Every structure is written in structure tokens, then in C-alpha cells.
Structure 1
Amino acid sequence: MMSFSPDGPPPVLRFKQGVKTTIDVTNALQEASVVHWHGLRIANRMDGVPYLTQYPIEAGQTFRYAFTPPDAGTFWYHPHCNTLEQMAWGLTGVLVVEEAQDPGFDRDLPLNIRDFRLGGDGQFIDFFKPRNAARGGTYGTVSSVNWQVDPVYDLEAGSLVRLRLAVTDVTRVGAYEIAGAEAQVIALDSNPLPVPLPASGLILAPGQRADIALRVPDDESEEVRLVLNRPNGAKTMARFRPKGSSLHRDLRELKPLPPNPVAEPDLENAEILDFVFGWSPEGDAPQSSQCGSLGYTFWSINRVAWPGDLPGPFDPLARLKLGKSYILRLRNETPNDHPIHLHGVSFKLLRSNKRELPPLVTDTALLRSQETMEVALVADNPGDWAFHCHVIEHQKTGLAGFLRIGD
């Protein structure tokens, strides 16, 4: 049973690919909540979105989530009710689905990367500023990894370590790198890469993850750093120290990660659906909600602002036929970045008007300022699936909706 309370870091949850798991979530808060399993392609009723897939878990109540993860990789979990406040408290945890066969690492180390908004006295301050919510979002004041500032991890010298980076922050888009050691990016957003990438200049937005194969140096004097490169200078987020006699491992010893069983879209027969991410139409105002409202409406999808988490009924942004292939054309008409997350279905990056896109499979795509991106998917998971920006201030002020997959 998992107790959902803001008095300590959420645990790392480890599951096995293809093995059914059951989680009893007890809400120990003094307000409603739910848990969303970010990136997992599971049954709609287990997805953890208030009213869209389940009623909120009231204070003191327990809800049983049961699902079988079809994909291996690095995922995470968080509330989808009073989302900004509860995530700002720190209710964001890493979820690992292990492959059926051991890929050969000596250690597996999840890194939960997020900011907190704390004042000089160490106490929480306002979680957002309206003028920032209408722009790029409100940044935290203290950067952390696994709830610690600049933690140090002792690793066996010469060993191979799987670093699982999960950006569970509510706002920050950043460029990360591993400095001081040989390292490769082997998976992004839970999906293995066909060819590993250098572990530098790695852009990760809220909701995104990266698996990095680190070859720990042989000598104890050589320190390795996880670095966040910011406009105002580089910041060391975590450090890794070699310890003991070298194991003399080599990255080439690792087995390639097996691809997840994501259906390949039929691009020749795919239907194109257009989505415009922009400002809110004039006159929209948020409605009161059991799951919280920030009190503002700034954003919209296809000129419709999400009114908040309410019983509805609401119309979907689009209706997709079960089993059919689609190309989603995502157009950002704003000067701000939007990490766009689709629940329940993975999609493949196709093309952009701004940059070359690798053929990655993902559930969260970073849509840059004024960018138009096309992605493709097979609508193979029935239900009403949330579709929103993962800058939570944007999500909670209108930049959200849902897609309906059915017969």
C-alpha cells in the first residue's frame, strides 16, 4: 500500500514488464487526489485523471490501481488533481519497469530531477506567479536530485551504471550532460534508441526521461557530474565518485535494450488531425473544481480552453477510430515552449518546420516556440485520454483537453 503524503520523498516503484501489479493508494492529504502513471500504456480506468477516468480519491480513502505494464523503461507518477500544488510539495516519484532480461548493468540509479519553490527560511513560497503562468511558467528556487541539493553517489570504480533521469519538475526545460566520464544515452521517454547518443546537450522538459549508460572511471580521484547547462551558467546537479578497485567494464558489454511493443503507424493511410496550441479566447474564465483551479485562463488547444477538472460531460478535441493510424500536426503559435503529453498511447516523431527530428517513440514531445511538429500513432488503446502541456501552470490555465479512442 502506498501512502500519499507530503512528509517525505515518494518511493521508487519497480515493476516487471508484462507482469500484473496492484497498488493500493491511500490519500493521507486533507484534500482530494489521484495518481497518474506517466507514460504507461494501460487501461483507461487505471490512468488516474479526475472525472475523465475515475472519481477523485477523497481524503482518507483508498483506491486500488491494477495494471500490467506492456513497456519497459523509466516512467514516473504524480497527482492529476490539485496538480500544481501537490506536485510543488514534492509528490512526484520515479517508476521503473524492468526488462525481462537483465541488460548487464552493475547498478541501476533513478534520479528524480525537480525544483522546489522555497524562501530563504526553507519554507514554501507561492507556487506560481500569474504573469509567469501566462508566459513560460514559474521556476523553482532550489534545484534537487532525489530531494537533495548536489547529492554525491559512491559507485564502484570501472563499473557500468544505468542512470535513469526523470524530470518531474512543473516548469523547467533544461540541457543536461554527464561530465567527466564516458556515457551514452540509450533510451528516451522509456523507449530504447536504435543508436546511442552522446550524453551531452540532452534537452529534457517536464515529463521527459532519459536512460544513460555511465562507465564509471577507474580512479577514485576522478569525479563525474550531472550538469544542467542554464543561460546564467552551468549547475552541478549530482556527483558520482568511483570507489574501490576497478571492475574494468566496457560499455560495449551491454546488451541492446529490446524495443517496446509499440505499433508502427501506417503513414500512407494515416488521417491527419490538426491541433493549435495558443492563447485563450477572450472572455474565458476558469470554473471552480474539486481538483483545484489557479483562478486564471491563459491558454487553449484549438481555441478551446480546458475549464478545469469537472464531471462534464465534455467534447473531445478529436475522435480517433480504434486501430487506425493518425498523424497529429501540432502547431505552437506562442513564443513559449510546451512539452505536450498524451496519455495512454505512444507516438513517433516525424518532422518539424524548425529542426531535424530523430525517429523517436515517445509520450511527451517538446514543442518549441512557433514550431509545427508532426507525430504519428496507432489509436490502439480505447478510452478518453488526456492531452496537455506538462508545464503545469499551462495545463491548469487552459492548455489541456482529451482525445477519444473508440469504435
Structure 2
Amino acid sequence: MNRKIIGSILIILLLGMGTWMYFQSPFSDAAQKDLPTSVTQGEESILDLEKEGPGDRPVKKFELTAKQVDWSINENKSVQAWTYNGKVPGEPIRVTEGDYVKVNLKNELEVPVTIHWHGVILPNQMDGVPGLTQDAVQPGETFTYEFVADDAGTYWYHSHQHSSKQVDKGLYGAFVVEEKERTIEIDQTFMLDEWAVNQEKQSLSNMGGMMMGSMSGDGEADTKQMYDTLTVNGKSGAAIRPLELEAGDTARLRFINAGYQQHRIIFPEGSMKVIATDGEAVLEQKESLNTLEIAPGERIDVAYTKQGEGAEVIGEDPQLQNAEQMKIPVVTETTEEASNLNVSATTSTGSGLTNGSEELLFNEVKEEDVSYRMDLGMGMNMGEGVVFQINEEVFPNTPPINVREGDIVKVEITNSGRLNHPMHLHGHHFQIQSKNGQAIDQPIVKDLVHVKPGETYTIYFKADNQGQWLFHCHDNNHAERGMVTIVDYEGVYSPFELGGKSNNNP
């Protein structure tokens, strides 16, 4: 037999084996028995770290119950969803900057859950990472999260327990911290997501297609095959609720990507300006944009002005798969027909990296105290299948970023693989200073940077929030397979354990 044919057969067999193994997480219940009981060491428990109380601040209280419901995505399709308060997205939480927030989580599911407050600067004990900052909340149990909402902006909350599955099944919601004085009165939130409705997510064809399809270079080959239905605020296609505006009205639209796929949202020409990314206000937009790339886990706020009396549409780039399912009609009356409108063509594209931030962490970056090179890669481990690596290791064996309080930390992130990796840092903001070795004219403050294949970003942050903090890929399918590390503060330790009786799986 021809050697090339034999080689091709062997590759197909390996890919097939990798496909099956990919969806068998190395952090499954059985595998967790072999995890270390503690991932960090120090003198002071994170539970003893100082945290601010309510004082004379307004206290806002919320109740969230994790439970399963049959959720209608459209008139033809329903899914068994895991929800907060029986909704997808979960109950929207809105507070005002300076409020003291108390959220009581009750778990009515048959599996453990948590809540992570994505992008929010808060005490380490409230970060919602099982095995690191708390034990997962068991069925029938409760846990109360408490923190000060000091920073106005768009955030979200989601489970961090086995999040590749739990977020996929609907355990997420919007968390908005409003400014004390609004600049735009009309304010709406749109959470974007993908679902496997008409197919099993754990398809045997996915991994082979991901490996081979990734040759196309868009970095999205895996999510293209894993999901078949796109949603806005838990609804798809004609079931998406229209946005009601009069001609000339301007609204603040807060877009949150709760899924694992990059979305390209197109607006009518001349209607949109980016005003914030990841909760941080940005400098005035220099050029007209009508298309936004929004990475998994990222938030982008825009000021959108309805252009005319007739119906308009904001929607996914028609060139992308299943784009017709992600259209937001903009109407003057709910009876106005907009579902058949076509999305505009892309004329100019921006992203969460297009506009510099109004307020920087560093006007001039000082010499770093800690330097860390983060190589994002992909490989196959015998017995585990495909894995996603940081510096050729998978969590919990990835090398941590060791810091002391007050350190200036420089991290150089390089994607040497073929898939996109939206890297998210808990508990801190960072400043993006350069891309591919070239200084950025207008530095950007964020908590997530979307690193595409072949790209390198240099970021800086100040170690000013003691604890043990995750830094991971927010395509949680990649994090589940190992692309996670920890920012480890000297002198503090986590008293929690991975796995264990609480089945902690971050």
C-alpha cells in the first residue's frame, strides 16, 4: 500500500481517538481523584484577607436559584436548560456604582454550581472559582456573595463549576453597574450565545473537523462544528425580541458574548459608535465602523442611533455560519415587520481592541517586577486526547504567575496554535501595550484579550488584589482541556481543594 495512504489512515485513526478523548475531560470525577489537594501554598488563608463591608453604602440584595427548566429557544425548539431563576439569560442584575451587593445563591440542581462575577474587581473569597476560592455549592445548599460594586460598566455572571458544560446549558446572566448619572437614558443588554440543539455536542466528527478545518486560519473551526443554533438573550431567529426606538433615538446597547465563538455583529451604516469595552470607557471613535468582532467573554458597549422611521436590523455577519438566526430587529412598534430584513454589508470592522481607553492603569509603564511568557499551544496526550496548553503544560500543572503585592507584572502572550484563545484574567484589569512586538498608539485597559493564531500581545497589570486568581482561555472548552493558570500571590494560600468531596471542578 502507498506510504502516503497508510499515513493518512493513521492520522484519521488518531484524530478519531482524539475526538472521543477531547470530550472526556481530564478533570472528570474519576480524574479529579488524582489532582493535588491544594494548588498553592502560603501563610495566610485567602478567607482571612481583608474585605470591605457595606458601611453606609446602599445595600442591594438579590436571590438567584439554580434550577433546570424547559427553555423555548424559538417556536420549534426547546432545550433542557440550567438557569438562574428559570430564565436564559438568568435574572438581570443592575446596581449603581458604589452599591454594596449581596447575592444569595440557592442550588436546586442535582450538580454543584457557583457564580463567578466576570470582570468585577472584588475580594478573592467572592470570585466563585471552586477548588480555589470556595467549595462548589452542593445541591440543596446556599452561598452568599458580597462585594462593593465600585466600577461602573458592563459585566456578567456565570457558573465556574465545570463551566464548559454549565455555561453552555444556560447558567449565566448580565450584571450591570450603572453610573450615578446616566449619559444615555435608553439602555439595553444583549447576551450572545451558541447552542447544540439539533445535534449532540459530543459528535465524533468534531475533533477531526476541528484539526483539519483549523487550516482555514479563522481560528473558529471547533465552535463551527460543535454548535448549530445562535441566540440573543436566549432566543433565536424570529423569537428574538425587537428593540423599540423612534427615528433619531440613541440607545446604549451592551453586548456580552456568553458563548465560545467569536461573533461579528453588523449595524446599519453610520448608526454606531463604541463607547466602552470590558467595562472601561474608550476614547472617541476616530472612524465610522459598522461591524464589531466580539470575542467569547468580552463585553462591548455601543451608542446606537436609529437611522430612520422604518425598521432596521442589527445582526451576525451573513458570511458566518447560521447567521440568519442572530438578528435583532429595530422597530418603532412591535407590530412592525422586521424579521425579513437583510443585514447590511460590512464596510469597516472594529473590535474590543480598536479604541484606546480613557483612563489607563499606567501613563508610563515602569520596569516590571515580574515577567512571564505565556505560550498557548495544543497537543495530544496519550490517555487524555487533545489538550490545550500553557507553556506545554495543562492545569493544574501549568506554571503559575508568582507575584508579590505591589508588583508590576508583564505578560507576553503568544498563540502558537491554530485556534483562537480569548484569555481572561480574574480580579484585575490589565493594560495592553503592544501587539506583535509593535507598541499600540492608544493602550487599552481590559480583562480579556482575544489572541488569534500567530498573534502576540504584551500586557501589564499591577498585583494589587491579593489572592489566588485564574488566568484562562474563555473558550471554556479549551479551559476544560487544560488552558488555565493561576496568578499566585506570595504569602497567601487557598484552603480549598480540587476535586475532593465537593467535586470542585473550576
TM range (shorter): 0.7 to 0.9
Is the 1:39–1:76 contact (alpha carbons within 8 Å) kept by the matching residues of 2?
A: yes
Asked if the contact 1:174/1:230 (under 8 Å) is kept, the reply is: no
Q: Quick one: distance in 1 between partners of 2:315 and 2:105?
A: 33
Distance 2:109 2:413 in 1: 37
Aligned residue type for 1:179: P
Q: Give the aligned residue type for 1:270.
A: E
CA 1:27–1:55: 2 relative to 1, 3 Å: same
Distance 1:363 1:380 in 2: 14
- CA deviation after TM superposition for structure 1 residue 393, in Å: 1.0
* AA at the equivalent of 1:178: F
C-alpha distance 55-131 of structure 1, shift in aligned 2 (>3 A): farther
Q: 2:376 aligns with which of 255, 270, 277?
A: 277
Deviates more, 1:323-332 or 1:135-144: 135-144
- Seen in structure 2, the aligned counterparts of structure 1 residues 316 and 97 have a Cα distance that, compared at 3 Å, is farther
Please report how far the alpha carbon of residue 324 of structure 1 lies from its aligned counterpart in structure 2 after TM superposition: 1.7
Counterpart among 129, 144, 148 of residue 64 in structure 1: 144
CA distance in 1, matches of 2:115, 2:277: 22
Q: Alpha carbons of 1:201 and 1:377: their partners in 2 closer, same or farther (altered >3 Å)?
A: same
The answer to whether structure 1 residue 112 and structure 2 residue 191 are counterparts is yes
* 1:138 aligns to 2:223 (yes or no): yes
Q: Relative to 1, partners in 2 of residues 1:132 and 1:63: Cα closer, same or farther, differing over 3 Å?
A: farther
Identify the match of residue 432 of structure 2 among 333, 349, 358: 349
Q: How do 1:185-264 residues align onto structure 2 when only pairs under 5 Å count?
A: 185-196=274-285, 198-219=288-309, 221-231=310-320, 235=324, 236-243=326-333, 263-264=361-362
Cα 1:20–1:199 shift into 2, 3 Å: farther
Tell me the equivalent position of 1:84.
164
- TM-score w.r.t. structure 2 length? 0.68
Q: 2:454 aligns with which of 366, 370, 380?
A: 370
Q: Which amino acid aligns with 1:269?
A: E
For 2:180, the aligned partner's letter is: A
> 2:257 matched to 1:167?
yes
1:288 counterpart residue number: none
* 1:205–1:339 Cα contact (<8 Å) kept: yes
TM-fit CA distance, 1:49: 0.4
Give the equivalent residue in structure 2 for 1:323.
406
Equivalent residue number for residue 267 of structure 1: 365
Question: Do structure 1's residue 43 and structure 2's residue 123 form an aligned pair?
Answer: yes
Shifted more, 144-153 versus 73-82: the winner is: 144-153
Deviation at 1:266, TM superposition (A): 5.5
1:125 matched to which residue of 2?
200
Q: Is the 8 A contact 1:264 1:378 kept in 2?
A: no
Q: CA deviation at 1:366?
A: 0.3
- Corresponding position of 1:179: 268
Give the structure, 1 or 2, with the largest relative contact order (CA under 8 Å, sep 6 or more): 2
Please give the alpha-carbon distance, in whole angstroms, between the structure 1 residues aligned to 2:358 and 2:120: 11
Distance 1:181 1:266 in 2: 35
**Is the Cα contact below 8 Å between 1:155 and 1:216 reproduced in 2?**
yes
Once the two structures are superposed, the pairs formed by residues 139-154 of structure 1 within 5 Å of their partners are 139=224, 140-150=227-237, 151=240, 152-154=242-244
Deviation (angstroms), 1:223: 1.6
Q: Percent identity?
A: 25
Please identify, of 208-217 and 230-239, the stretch whose mean Cα deviation from structure 2 is larger. Answer: 230-239
Q: How far apart, in 1, do the equivalents of 2:321 and 2:134 lie?
A: 43
Amino acid at match of 2:372: L
Task: Quickly say closer, same or farther: Cα 1:20–1:281, change in 2 above 3 A.
Answer: same
Confirm whether residue 303 of structure 1 aligns to residue 365 of structure 2: no
> Shift of residue 155 of structure 1?
1.9
Find the partner of 2:415 among 318, 323, 332: 332
- Which whole-Å CA distance do the structure 1 matches of 2:252 and 2:445 have between them? 20
Provide the C-alpha distance between the structure 2 equivalents of 1:85 and 1:324, rounded to a whole number of angstroms: 35
Note closer, same or farther for the CA distance 1:340–1:149 as it changes in structure 2 (3 Å cut). same
SS, match of residue 245 in structure 2:
strand
Shift of 1:264: 2.6
Please say which of residues 195-204 and 61-70 is displaced more in the overlay.
195-204
Larger strand percent = 1
State the shift of 1:79 in Å.
0.8
Partner letter of residue 113 of structure 1? L
- Residue 370 of structure 1 deviates from its aligned partner by 1.4
Count of aligned pairs = 370
Q: CA deviation at 1:138?
A: 3.1
Q: 2:247 aligns with which of 157, 171, 183?
A: 157
User: Which residue type is aligned with residue 275 of structure 1?
Assistant: M
Q: Report the residue type matching 1:277 in the other structure.
A: L
Query: Which residue matches 2:68?
Result: 6
Q: Is the 8 A contact 1:228 1:237 kept in 2?
A: no
Which is richer in helix?
2
Aligned counterparts of 1:260 and 1:50: Cα–Cα separation in 2: 34
CA apart distance, 1:11: 1.4
Rounded to whole Å, the distance in 1 between the matches of 2:270 and 2:174 is: 24
Quickly say closer, same or farther: Cα 1:37–1:131, change in 2 above 3 A.
Answer: farther
Aligned residues of 1:338 and 1:390 also touching (Cα < 8 A): yes
Q: 2:31 maps to what in 1? A: none
Unaligned runs of 5+ in 2: 1-62, 70-86, 215-219, 335-356, 492-506
Shift of 1:91: 1.5
Question: Structure 2 CA distance, aligned partners of 1:229 and 1:146?
Answer: 20
